Chains A and B, each alone.
Chain A
């Protein structure tokens, strides 16, 4: 099986769209794993073993990309030749920047006491609502071939996911992990 340069959607035989059925993705992933996993090559030559490790690593990378909505969005934009590494001022409107600043302020204002966890929870669900909104519109933009619109939403999602992971880290610290 050759993974190099293969489109991830084709690899898993699913339609190249933003909204995908995660259960179908996972069961396809399992089917492929059963064929190529290093456990199936324990009695093979060193070369074949090495190849199995590389193939499975690529498969895991592909699965991880499509499983995460943010990575999937970035990958779809790349497939449409959008440079997601490059953020233009136009991609991020003033409103978006103001909103991000406000969200960040709310995070900083969370007091360090017993109510911290529930405050973090509230903020988290606010951010998650925004994420769902973005994802919905991203899907529509992509279908309508509005790639620059989709790119703006992708960058907004990047902000929001970054914020979510920061909330997670603060939460973990609060929980004593």
Chain B
């Protein structure tokens, strides 16, 4: 691990003030946090010595949720309130979740009244959406890191599967912000793994990172040249993971016993745990006995590989695709890095060795390698470690484009383009006198709109009426270093131009985006404005919470009229947040700050008076 050692060249230089930075691997099955508590970056254990935090959250009425093993232990007893594999739900609409192949196994009940774009799960503690659930997992990791680093965190690098689309990345970022984290960078998991290895074996070369996690599968091909880690191509299958191998075993058990039994959520959870255990045993033993429905079944590695062949084939197809996209052949690969607990399966290792004709690197625990890499990158980004000539150059995993006539997708940024990237393309009107143009932003490789993922829709209004084809509309795409997209559209043919920026974001449904746009029309807006809006919303929300709790604690300090005035502002601010009205959010936050500062001063006065009660002036002067 060359990189880990580069940081402290010789002796002990004067220590600059170290900032507290962590790397977090927010996984489908398990999550980890890594930081440099004692000189080098390591994964941090909990007080039981466990590094892996099961990504399971158990909600309880009116109490803090349980996260990790304690939550996992409640999966069988109360499956509806115990959310596992929430990562599979991130960035997806309710209809997408329902159409997923695994939906039949998801025991949760979703709030059907809510907008399709923001699914929420009913729990005893109220509705929980995937962002909130993910942030509950992150909070536990943050606590763990803060104990070890002895203080509040300054920043974090959060990893995402390379193949995550824009909505999934946005929601990951939002979950981290909700957990109070300053997100330094979203880092692709395979890239993080490559950093952890430091790949000291050679300074130059091509590395394949084969990452099979609980619920996602990614393959990336990186080229290493003198400290520059350049991702040449990445491909993946966001619906393939270690969990699928469990389901193959369940199907086999049911078919072998001819069991037509319908399982309820809790007996299915028990069956899943049994299958998971068999899967683990099969990586250590040549054959395993399984009890199911009173029958004794036997499975060996060969049968398991046969049953899993459709899944193995999908992994090989992804490897071929990434080689092809990078313009490389199997012989060009110098190293293979395995990531994710599922790569412990012997059938996976054998399939990888057979495909690439070489043994993979396995020095670092495949469960920890991503968090380690993220921790190293966080330490570098925050400025604790300066390494000459170290840089990660990543790519966007999926092509981005917009809808054109005939429900076709015009690609604006092709997949595997190095980020950050900005591209603009001109479009024109279709009808005489057309003053409005609908812009539909899509992500995916296929030609038809219906085969790609819709990221956002918005309208450009106020185009001066002209004959068809005369107006010039420039649509520009910007993908930042986190892989997040913003889109702007501008009318160029006349001096009058309208410019709008959309940042597809959690909680902004199509209507909200429409409203945001109509209010911002004809105003030039920069990409960063959308982010500013989100921050404003967050700040406003925090202020509301603080004010409400202050009123409930010390409301008696306020005259009825004052209290009403404050409550009225709080209500107006809540409205402004719901309606995504940035100007109002700012104005009302300001106003609430002013009105409540008086209240805060009075509370402080009271506290001081309480503290001073009984003390004489002389004593005060002496103290």
Minimum CB–CB distance from A137 to chain B (whole Å) comes to 24
Contact of B392 among A39, A46, A50 (CB under 8 A): A39
Q: Choose, from B341-349, B381-389, B564-572, B592-600, the stretch at the interface.
A: B381-389
B382: which A residues are within 8 A, CB to CB? 42-43
B321: which A residues are within 8 A, CB to CB? 172, 175, 177
Minimum CB–CB distance from A33 to chain B (whole Å) comes to 6
Instruction: Tell whether, in the assembled complex, residue A34 and residue B422 are in contact, meaning their CB atoms are under 8 Å apart.
Output: no
Q: Choose, from A52-60, A100-108, A114-122, the stretch at the interface.
A: A52-60
CA distance A33 to B226 in the complex (A): 13
Contact of A42 among B184, B317, B420 (CB under 8 A): B184
A43: which B residues are within 8 A, CB to CB? 382-383
Q: Mark A76-118, 1 if CB is under 8 A from B, else 0.
A: 0000000000000000000000000000000000000000000
Tell me whether A38 is interfacial, beta carbon within 8 Å.
yes
B419: which A residues are within 8 A, CB to CB? 60
Residues of A bordering B, CB below 8 Å: 26-27, 30, 33-34, 37-39, 42-43, 46, 50, 53-54, 56-58, 60-61, 63-64, 172, 175-177
Tell me whether B452 is interfacial, beta carbon within 8 Å.
no
CA distance A54 to B320 in the complex (A): 33
The CB with the most chain A CB atoms within 10 A, among B155, B389, B417, B420, is that of: B420
15 new A-B contacts at CB < 8 Å, known A33-B228, A33-B393:
A34-B391, A37-B393, A39-B391, A43-B383, A50-B526, A50-B528, A53-B481, A56-B420, A57-B422, A57-B478, A60-B419, A63-B418, A64-B418, A175-B317, A175-B320
Instruction: Tell whether, in the assembled complex, residue A30 and residue B527 are in contact, meaning their CB atoms are under 8 Å apart.
Output: no
Residue on A nearest B423 in the bound complex, by CB: A61
A53: which B residues are within 8 A, CB to CB? 420, 478, 480-481
B320: which A residues are within 8 A, CB to CB? 175
A46: which B residues are within 8 A, CB to CB? 528
B184: which A residues are within 8 A, CB to CB? 42
Residue on A nearest B313 in the bound complex, by CB: A176
CA distance A38 to B230 in the complex (A): 15
B393: which A residues are within 8 A, CB to CB? 33, 37
Minimum CB–CB distance from B484 to chain A (whole Å) comes to 10
Instruction: Tell whether, in the assembled complex, residue B391 and residue A30 are in contact, meaning their CB atoms are under 8 Å apart.
Output: yes
Residue on A nearest B482 in the bound complex, by CB: A38
Instruction: Tell whether, in the assembled complex, residue A38 and residue B480 are in contact, meaning their CB atoms are under 8 Å apart.
Output: yes
State whether A39 and B381 are in contact (beta carbons under 8 Å apart), knowing that A53-B420, A54-B422, A57-B421 are contacts in the complex: yes
6 nearest A-B residue pairs (beta carbon) = A57-B422, A38-B481, A42-B381, A53-B420, A30-B228, A57-B420
The CB with the most chain B CB atoms within 10 A, among A27, A30, A61, A64, is that of: A30
B480: which A residues are within 8 A, CB to CB? 38, 53
Residue on B nearest A47 in the bound complex, by CB: B528
A60: which B residues are within 8 A, CB to CB? 417-421
Residues of B bordering A, CB below 8 Å: 155, 184-185, 225-226, 228, 230, 317, 320-321, 324, 380-383, 389, 391-393, 417-423, 478, 480-481, 526-528
Minimum CB–CB distance from B327 to chain A (whole Å) comes to 11
CA distance A175 to B325 in the complex (A): 13
Residue on A nearest B230 in the bound complex, by CB: A30
Instruction: Tell whether, in the assembled complex, residue B481 and residue A177 are in contact, meaning their CB atoms are under 8 Å apart.
Output: no
The CB with the most chain B CB atoms within 10 A, among A42, A46, A50, A175, is that of: A42
CA distance A27 to B389 in the complex (A): 11
CA distance A46 to B182 in the complex (A): 14
Instruction: Tell whether, in the assembled complex, residue B417 and residue A64 are in contact, meaning their CB atoms are under 8 Å apart.
Output: yes
B392: which A residues are within 8 A, CB to CB? 39
Residue on A nearest B182 in the bound complex, by CB: A42
CA distance A57 to B391 in the complex (A): 16
Minimum CB–CB distance from A162 to chain B (whole Å) comes to 14
CA distance A54 to B481 in the complex (A): 11
CA distance A50 to B184 in the complex (A): 14
Contact of A37 among B422, B478, B481, B527 (CB under 8 A): B481
CA distance A58 to B420 in the complex (A): 9
Minimum CB–CB distance from A163 to chain B (whole Å) comes to 17
Minimum CB–CB distance from A61 to chain B (whole Å) comes to 7
CA distance A172 to B446 in the complex (A): 11
Residue on A nearest B390 in the bound complex, by CB: A34
Residue on A nearest B532 in the bound complex, by CB: A46
CA distance A176 to B478 in the complex (A): 30
Minimum CB–CB distance from B276 to chain A (whole Å) comes to 30
A175: which B residues are within 8 A, CB to CB? 317, 320-321
Minimum CB–CB distance from A167 to chain B (whole Å) comes to 13
A57: which B residues are within 8 A, CB to CB? 420-422, 478
CA distance A64 to B422 in the complex (A): 12
State whether A50 and B527 are in contact (beta carbons under 8 Å apart), knowing that A39-B481, A43-B382, A175-B320 are contacts in the complex: yes
A-B contact pairs, 8 of them (CB 8 A): A30-B225, A34-B389, A37-B393, A38-B481, A42-B381, A42-B383, A43-B382, A60-B420
CA distance A57 to B417 in the complex (A): 11
Residue on A nearest B21 in the bound complex, by CB: A42
Residue on B nearest A26 in the bound complex, by CB: B225
A33: which B residues are within 8 A, CB to CB? 228, 391, 393
CA distance A26 to B393 in the complex (A): 12
Residue on A nearest B526 in the bound complex, by CB: A50
Residue on A nearest B389 in the bound complex, by CB: A34
Minimum CB–CB distance from B230 to chain A (whole Å) comes to 8
CA distance A57 to B226 in the complex (A): 22
Instruction: Tell whether, in the assembled complex, residue B317 and residue A176 are in contact, meaning their CB atoms are under 8 Å apart.
Output: yes
Minimum CB–CB distance from B448 to chain A (whole Å) comes to 13
Residue on A nearest B393 in the bound complex, by CB: A33
Contact of B317 among A54, A63, A64, A177 (CB under 8 A): A177
A50: which B residues are within 8 A, CB to CB? 526-528
